[in-house]
Structure 1
Amino acid sequence: MHVHIDTDDYIVNGTKKLKLEKHKTKVKDVYKDKSEYKDLLNEFQDEINDLQRMMYADDRNSMLLIFQAMDAAGKDGTIRAIMSGVNVHGVVVHSFKQPSTNELEHDFLWRTTIRLPQRGQIGIFNRSYYEEVLVVKVHPEIVREKQRLPQEYTENLEELWENRYESIRDFEKHICRNGTKVVKFFLHLSRDEQRERFLDRIDEAEKNWKFSEADVSERGYWNDYQQAYEDAINATATQHAPWFVIPADDKKNMRLIVAQVVLEQLHALDLKYPVVSDERREELEQFRKQLRD
């Protein structure tokens, strides 16, 4: 079973400017019903697992998947749904919350750099260094009150953001040159759908733990966040490290589209199992004989 998803509809790679308000948060479903959704998801999981195993054996590449979104967009569920079928040794997930005291003693890229995937692995960042040009940009007091940067770097905040965009572009170019494919997702949720999901967290007892008062307060900065996301995506979208703006109002649809993107990006790495030399084949035949004796 295969489904046609044109991922070009969602890519932002620097060739043209993103206008976030023009991107839909809901598109036509790529699945017919719940049963087909499950079948398609299982198929994606199997294919991604096969390619990750090949990546591990090939031992030349790694992949970094970055997920950014407004609260309640479904980052956790998407990561869990797509990667649940992949060998646990091949996937490493890191969730980044507020920086710790130790992390604040370093540059803003440090805490994520030390968690990059090794060759053969798919690394997943649930939030990332992009928080430094999203949350911190919406709440610039964080720069002066918590990050304790030299004053000369905080006098002009617009210049600070531009410098951080540049650092991110340079960082992503560096890791791409060293074998890490970077794929970035913005799960594009509407404000109305976010409200409904917050209400669900209040109304459904098993979801109460997900709700935080901060969810409501941050919702008040909705327009500021939308602008911050648009600015960050435009400033850091490149051919080697593209963004994908994924409609997130339908979680099932979103997961299938993300899975298709991941699968395509893995295929683009031209992975292959190592070729066994003639000499090694002779050695293996000798081992076969020994084991049968």
Structure 2
Amino acid sequence: MIKTLALYAWARVRLGHHSCNVAGLLLGLFSEELRVTANRLGVNAESLYIAAAIAALLHDAGKASPGYQERVATRPVFTCHELVAGKLVLDTSIRILEGRIEDKYAQLLAGLAGLAALRHHHGMRSIDFCRREAKKGRVHGLSREDFALLASEFEETCPPSRPIIMILNSLDNDYDPLGSLIALSKHVENLTRIVGFREEGLAFYASQLTGFLSLADYLAASILDGRRKDNEHPRGYAATALKELSWRLMTGIEGKVQLTDLLKGIAMDGIKFMKRLLSRL
């Protein structure tokens, strides 16, 4: 593949590195919870792991748009980039899961993964807000050329994502924000009929996966990406989340293990797990 421009999730933070870290933390921290969820959904755990990995790897895919990238070095603003990501995660998950599991469950897991990507910034802004911003032309979509750039970024920075890279290189249609949101919404509406779940049940499982993804994203951004100089002493939501995860019990009272090193280790274990999963596709 011809080397192209690097893509960034934040100033000086490569998009592929960040996404790979998020996937690693998601699988490294929550594999047991995902296994239990898969059992409740009636699917094999490996399929849910794969859907979760796709959601994590592509949750920031919308940031690849030139409309966002051109300002990332000086004033990074990625208004509602998740609108496109939700549909891309949905489509990618369906293509990978089809034929591996019963079709209705492939549709279910793809829908849950798409919703998680769509709502991973639920604490920052609502879907209604993003819909309004998109109608005003303030949300950027992705073109075929953007997908090729994204594939190149992942190939350089996150080699375990090879199956996703192949799909990105095969996409030949544009994704616009409003159209992507509408398509994902229609898919989710149909799930109650396809799978037979009540809306409350779908909302529960979607919220659960969204929570896992949001937390992995936040920890990767605040601790592993190096956006702050003092990332050994997290503040705000990161501090609360880590307390709930009881990370101090794992590091020891003396604090002999640095927080960054601990999370790097968890992320690396998760990435290795993801590599084994995706290498079998």
| Bigger helix fraction | 2
TM-score scaled to structure 2, two decimals? Answer: 0.30
> Greater RCO between the two (CA within 8 Å, min separation 6)?
1
TM-score scaled to structure 1, two decimals? Answer: 0.29
| Bigger strand fraction | 1
Greater gyration radius: 1
